[in-house]
Structure 1
Amino acid sequence: MTVTGPETALFEQQRRRLFGLAYRMLGSAAEAEDVVQDAFLRWHGADRQRIEALPAWLAKVVTNLCLNRLTSARARRESYVGPWLPEPVLTGEGALGPLETVEQRDSVSMGVLILLERLTPPERAVFVLREAFGYQHREIAELLDIDEAHSRQLHLRARRHVADTRARFTAGNDEQRRIVERFLAATLEGDVAGLEKLLAEDVVSWADGGGTVTAARRPIVGRDRVLRYLLGMGGRPEIAVVRTEIAEVNGHPAVLFELGGALMAVLALEVGQDRVTAVRLVVSPAKLAFVAAQRA
C-alpha cells in the first residue's frame, strides 16, 4: 500500500525517531520496521482533529504496539536455538537517532539491549522512554496510561536490574576502535600473546546462528576457552578470502565479515578497563538482513 500526501510528509519527519524507539523496545530491526509501518497506517486512518500533538500520539502508538509484541517475543526467545542476540544496525548515518552522549550510545549497545530482555515489558518501555529519549515521568505516564508514581517505580526497578550487571564502556570510541583493530588482527594472525593481553579473564563469547547457521549454542566462558575458540575461528580456510571492515554498529565499533560480496557475520565487542569483556558474533542470515540492506 502506497500513500502519499501532506500526512505522509508529516509522518516521515518522525520515522527515524519512531524506528529508534521501536528498535530499543524490541531488539529487532525487522520488527521495528513493521511497527513503524503499522503506526503509519493508524495515523493515516486516524481522526486528525483529535490529535493534539503528533510526536506524542505516534510515540504512544509505537510504544503500545511494541508492548503487544514483547509478550509473544519473549515466548519465541525461550525456544530460540542457541543464544539470542539483537539484530545489529549500522548507526554511523543516524539510523537510530542521535548518539552524541555515552548514555545514548549505551542505550543501543548489544550489551544493554540484552540486559533489557530481563525487564518486564512495562519496565522496558519506561526505561527506554526515560533513558534514551529523555521523557519526563509525567509524559511517560500519559503514554502508558499509568500514574506518574507508577512510572517512577518502574524506572527505578529497571535501572536497578540493568545497573546490577551492566558493564559500561570505559574507553572512548577512538580507543574502542583501536582495541577492535588489535583484536581483529590478533585473531586473524593467530597471535596468542596478543589475544591474551586483550581478553579479560572472565570474558564471555556468544554466537547467534538462529538455528540455520553453525554456531556455538552455548556461551563460551573464560579467557582460555574463548582464546581457543577465536584461534579456531581465525584458522578456518575461508578466512583467507574473507573481507573485513570496521564500522559503527549499535553505537560502537564492530567488525563486518563479507565473503563473495555477501555479508556473513557481524562481530561486536564489549570493552571495559581496556580489556574485551564480551564477544558477540551474529551469523544468522535473518539477523544480518537489515545491515546488508543498509550497505546496499
Structure 2
Amino acid sequence: MRMRASRLLLFLFCAMLTHAEKLGFAQRDPYVLHDCSNTGNVSSNSAYRKNVNTLLSSLSSNTQSHYGFYNFSVGENSDRVNAVTFCRADLIPIDCQNCVGTSAEELLFRCPNQKEGIVWYMNCTVRYSNNSIFGIMQFESMQHLHNIINVTDPIGTFDQVRETLLDRLRSEAAASTSTLHKFATGKASSPYFDIYALLQCTPDLNQQECSDCLNQSIAKVPTCCGPAIGVRVLTPSCNLRYENNHFYGFTLEAPPPLSSTLAPPAEGTALPI
C-alpha cells in the first residue's frame, strides 16, 4: 500500500513539473557546453573585465524586449566588449529571459579572465568578445553532443532520411524573411522512428551566411556522431539539433490545410515575421 502511494506521489510530482514547464514556470535551464578563447587573458580588475561584468549582467533585462536576440557593446578601443545572445525561437519571453540570465552568470564563472567566451544552454546562447561579432558568421568554437545509442541501419536508410530532413530545414531557416528569427523545425519518418529536427541561425546573418553555417554543421554530423538517435552541433552563429522525440514548441508545427482540396503543407516551418 505504501509503495502504491509513493508511486502515485511520484506520478503527481512529474505531472505537475511537466505542466509547469508547459506554462513557462521556469526550472533552471540546463547548462550544455562552453568555450573560453585562448586569444588572451585579462586581470579581474582591468577595465575590460569590468566592462564584461557590466555587459553580461545587463543582458537578461534587455533580451525580453528584443525577441530573444540582443547585441550590445560597452567600452572604447581596447576595452570595448561586444556581446550577442539569442534564444530558441519557440521560447516564450520569460523562459528566454531566465535562460539568458543564467547563461550570463555561468559564462562569468566559466571564463573568469578570458577576452572571449561563449556558453550554450539548452535553450539559449550567450557570447562576448573583444572583436566585432555582430553580423559575422563564425563556425569556430564548434561543439557537438550525441546520444550514446546508435541506430542499427545496414542499408543506410536512416542516414538518407536524416540528411534530407536537415538539408530541407537548412534551406527554410536560411530563406526566412523574418528580421527576428532564422529558424525552422520539422520531422521525417525513418523505418525506425520519426526524426524531429530544429535548425537556427542568429538573425544578423544573411541568407547565404546562414546556409553556409548550417551546411557545415550538417556535414559534421556523420563524422562526429554517426547514426546516433540524437545529435547537437553548436556554433557561435548557428545550431542544429535532432532527436527521436518531439522536443520543440508545438506552436511551430505547420498549420493544417485550409480545405480538403488543398495539398498538405510541408513538415518544416520557418517562423514568419
**More helix by percentage:** 1
* TM-score, normalising length: structure 1: 0.28
* TM-score, normalising length: structure 2: 0.29
